[in-house]
A = this chain, B = another copy of it.
Amino acid sequence: MPKDHEAFQQAIYSFLEEGATDGLRRSLQEVHPADIAEMFPVLSLAQRVKLLRIMDPEQASLVLFELDREMLPPLIESLGFNRTADILDAMSTDDAADLLGNLPGGIKQKLLDLMETQEAEDVAELLEYAEDTAGGIMTTEFVAIHQDITAERAIQLLREIAPDAETVYYVYVVNRQAQLVGVISLRELILAAPAMLIEEIMRRKVISVNVNTDQEEVAKLVAKYDFLAVPVVNDNNELLGIITVDDVLDVIEEEATEDMMRMAANIDVDEQGPDAGVLRRASRRLPWLIGLLFGELIAGHVIEGFSGTLQNMTALAFFMTALAGGTGNAATQSLTVVVRGIATGEVNPRQVFKVVWGEAQVGLFIGLTSGLVLAGLALLWQDSLSLGLVVGASLALSITLSTILGSLVPVIINRFGIDPALASGPFIATLMDVTSMFIYFSLATLILVR
């Protein structure tokens, strides 16, 4: 019944308009926090504040975390710092750290000062870790028990401490030095005989990640092994926190967005949201556009070098965009297949030769076919066999080359530890514009102009 929530959203909206606080309170209890957060973009600031005041801190914390970060500073000012600090106290530490980390320094410090001491300390500690590392996405609320207690005692302990822990689906086992020594799933704990010792039933092989591991690596690990959560340790194997699968879902979506933005459009994902200012969005896109413009001018220089040939036969100009465009498209196809293949693990970047040779064969086939088509069209349109030959041969050669470059460049830069998505489509397309113009006018000069 996923459509139910729309009816409740409508009800909340009506109650807000009427100022009916009781109805509002009742209907808010019926709706998932994610659905309440979904309404915020269309509400006024006063309405947003009203909702956050009526909800209890627990619910408000879940809603607040879901909101677009750019919406927060004015909202917090209107809501008041004291109320916001209460809401943050109710939030899990990793979410609170994530939220605070995205706020201006002044607001962040003021809120930390107003929060409960223990919670504020935990959050401040999490804020020390780089945002895109395991430390930056882990939570410190996890369940750890000692290895020398019984299964029955462990379940009893869970009853006492569980409400504070983000997930109890895995229970981690530590020794007296707080080092991670084992893991047991809640399911295994329940299925075990009550008198068994934890160290008899725990699994001793625990896959963990270091606190400084890149978040993309963590996401790959969780996806590969189908984990619900993964423990985070320091260099001394002391258990510091856990990362749960819901945070990993966010990371995977974030990384796919980043790849797509870099590869297709040469821009970083940050600050392109509809709520960011026009100037900021434009200034993030400009540098590459201008840089590529200079690249394209090299193609212009190549053409100018052959201006004698062009003057003799202006019909050459009619096929320039077809050549440059077709070559760019073929390059982008190869690039996308290889870059995405590396990201999902389907393409092994160590097998450079295999990858490039495969794409080269595909390119040769595509190039010959497309070249034949374009040659035929040029012949029909301009009634010149030699022009058709030049146009077709240029396209065939350029496309073959473009699939080789489109697969070689990402594989090579991946070897140097650079994100292959940075070998973006526009970059390769510009490179191929220069190359294809050189091939085209060279062939034309050789064959057409004697």
Contacts and interface: CB of A to CB of B under 8 A. Distances in A.
A30 B186 CA distance: 22
A264 B310 CA distance: 33
Given A245-B228, A266-B333, A253 B223 contact: yes
Contact of A261 (B296, B303, B336): B336
**Which 10 residue pairs across A and B have the least CB separation, nearest first?**
A256-B256, A296-B322, A265-B336, A226-B246, A300-B318, A265-B333, A282-B365, A299-B321, A296-B325, A278-B361
B362 A278 contact: yes
A329 interface: yes
Contacts of A259: 260
A174 to B, nearest CB: 15
A252 interface: yes
Contacts of A328: 325, 328, 426, 429
Interface string A248-282: 11101100110111011111010011100011011
A379 interface: no
A385 interface: no
A140 B429 CA distance: 48
A264 B263 contact: yes
A285 interface: yes
Interface string A414-450: 0000000000011001100100010000000000000
A207 interface: yes
Nearest to A186: B186
A10 interface: no
Nearest to A427: B329
Interface in A14-50: 30, 32, 34, 41
A259 B256 CA distance: 10
B425 A332 contact: yes
Interface in A102-158: 155, 158
B286 A369 contact: yes
A83 interface: no
Interface stretch (A51-59, A72-80, A344-352): A344-352
A365 B286 CA distance: 9
B299 A322 contact: yes
A425 B264 contact: yes
Contact of A293 (B311, B340, B373): B373
